[in-house]
Amino acid sequence: MTNEHTIPQTEYTGRIREILSARFPETQPKAFVHTYGCQGNVADSERIKGMLADMGYDFTDSREDADFVLFNTCAVREHAEDRVYGNVGALKPIKSEKRDMIIALCGCMMQQAHVAEKIRKSYPFVNLVFGTFAIDRFPELMYRVLRGGKRVFDLEERENVLPEGLPVRRDSDFKAWLPIMYGCNNFCTYCIVPYVRGRERSRKTEDVLAEAREIVASGAKEITLLGQNVNSYGKKSEDGVDFPQLLRLVNAIPGDFKIRFMTSHPKDCTKALLDAMSDCEKVARHLHLPFQSGSNRVLKAMNRGYTREKYLELIAYARQVMPDLSLTSDVIVGFPGETYEEFTETLSLIREVRFTSLFTFIYSPRKGTVAAALPDPVPYAEKSRWFSELLKTQEEIAAERCADMVGRTFEVLVENETKEGGGMLTGRTPGNVNIDFPGCPSLIGSYRQVRVVSAKNWMLTGALAE
């Protein structure tokens, strides 16, 4: 270990400020950060942006204007990775015009050895590559890049890394992502996450609560607790607080805010959790509970650890204790060896549960996972036909669900003006359904009572009820 490794990261931040103010005496250097993938990645990027701000960077939405470009990448499906390669390639001509530009890649995709190798060989203009275990060392890595010389790669896997104490620059003033745990131990056979995010580890309850209090004090209106499997929060921790207890503790923080959480794994979703949700007035009546497949054979091959019957039992209990609960889920079509009959069990499950909305995916083989080595005889074109059938079924259900909401009034967090503008705002109901309604932009960031006026397919239009 050299001396440099013993220097605290904030020391590097200070040195970087000096280097940058010498290089940019008149202006502030600009950073462009783009995030792919899940909210876990979004939360990581908010911490990286916090560190960049401390280093003296300002932020820009234009990669051409940026002095520092970072892509925080996702590896969950091939499509996500292809987009990253395309967008990194597109930086090459920009950088050849602007030789001092620093290009950095981080996140889940980089944590795979074959990807890092490809970047090393085929993308020589990339200056810095770091994996998911290196976030807390970002200042040190940046310092090494700024000092010049070799390209910097940090892809080392570390046990029990919890990026505590980092500055956070949140994207929204009123919606906050709050990671409560990192990693995943479940090894669903299709999934790359446990390989690129490492073993499950929970933040200390006091750290989570301190951040939650900070968020509430800053005026935020919605906190989303994040983890790949929030239900296993605290399994190995010393303070013995589990997820239902954590939910109750966050709920007890005084203030005008709502709580959401994701993702729940059905195998660890307990009645205690559903009871806690039902008891906690700040917890939104929305449960995202991915089922992936309606076939027990496929669920077993996916290593999901529950059956269709167990899943339906949970849903029945959840609706018993929270009759107004909105349910959403994730589904995979075309897992290796899945037959059409098995796929129809997925269709029958969604008809039975009648989810508010679904995230639907065609299976994408991920190098190194168990499923990637299974025989996969159904052609992609056939899987696409099944996928369309799934979408059509869900669209009908969502349309019926939305039509049922007409005339009801919901407490809506006003989030933005609609893209089309014209005095229309957009927000979300407690059940996480988008609703557009006319109103003044000054309402953005507050809760308002909105009555549903009409539903077109699965789009709601409303009117302020006050």
From ligand SAH, ligand SF4, ligand F3S, none, interface partner of 77 (C-beta below 5 to 8 A by class)? ligand SAH
Q: Interface with ligand SF4 includes 194 (CB under 6 A)?
A: yes
Question: CB neighbours of 39 closer than 8 A, spacing ≥ 6?
Answer: 177, 224, 226, 262
Q: Interface with ligand SF4 includes 186 (CB under 6 A)?
A: yes
3-state secondary structure of 9: helix
Residue range at the interface with ligand F3S (CB under 6 A); choices 72-80, 175-183, 249-257, 399-407: 72-80
The residues in 176-195 that bind ligand F3S, with binding defined as CB under 6 A, are: 192-193
The residues in 274-293 that bind ligand SAH, with binding defined as CB under 6 A, are: 290, 292
Q: Scanning the structure block, which residue is given the tokens 């929970």?
A: 202
DSSP state of 378: S
Residue from 40, 163, 334, 336 binding ligand F3S (CB under 6 A)? 40
From ligand F3S, ligand SF4, ligand SAH, none, interface partner of 108 (C-beta below 5 to 8 A by class)? ligand F3S
From ligand SAH, ligand F3S, ligand SF4, none, interface partner of 439 (C-beta below 5 to 8 A by class)? none
- β-bridge mates for residue 287, sequence order: 327
What letter represents residue 206's amino acid? E
Distance CA 88, CA 171 (A): 23
Distance CA 151, CA 102 (A): 10
**What are the φ and ψ backbone dihedral angles of 421, each rounded to 5 degrees?**
70, -135
3-state secondary structure of 229: coil
From ligand SF4, ligand SAH, ligand F3S, none, interface partner of 187 (C-beta below 5 to 8 A by class)? ligand SF4
User: Between residues 264 and 426, which has the closer beta carbon with respect to ligand SAH?
Assistant: 264
User: Between residues 16 and 180, which has the closer beta carbon with respect to ligand SAH?
Assistant: 180
One-character DSSP codes across 11-77: HHHHHHHHHHHHH-SSS--EEEEEE-SSHHHHHHHHHHHHHHHHHT-EE-S-TTT-SEEEEEE--SS
- For residue 244, what are its two tokens? 């239902």
Q: Interface with ligand F3S includes 108 (CB under 6 A)?
A: yes
Distance CA 306, CA 265 (A): 10
Residue range at the interface with ligand SF4 (CB under 6 A); choices 78-86, 188-196, 313-321, 411-419: 188-196
User: Between residues 227 and 439, which has the closer beta carbon with respect to ligand SF4?
Assistant: 227
Q: From the CB of residue 162, how many other CB atoms can be counted at a distance below 10 Å?
A: 15
Distance CA 330, CA 311 (A): 13
From ligand SAH, ligand SF4, ligand F3S, none, interface partner of 74 (C-beta below 5 to 8 A by class)? ligand F3S
The residues in 344-383 that bind ligand SAH, with binding defined as CB under 6 A, are: 361, 363-364, 366
Q: How far from chain centre, in Å, is Cα 280?
A: 24
User: Between residues 119 and 331, which has the closer beta carbon with respect to ligand SF4?
Assistant: 331
Q: Interface with ligand F3S includes 290 (CB under 6 A)?
A: no
Distance CA 41, CA 37 (A): 6
**Which residues lie near ligand F3S (CB under 6 A)?**
37-38, 40-41, 74-76, 108, 192-193, 196-197
**Which residues lie near ligand SAH (CB under 6 A)?**
76-77, 190-191, 193, 228-229, 263, 265, 290, 292, 330, 332, 361, 363-364, 366
**Which residues lie near ligand SF4 (CB under 6 A)?**
184, 186-188, 191, 193-194, 228-229, 265
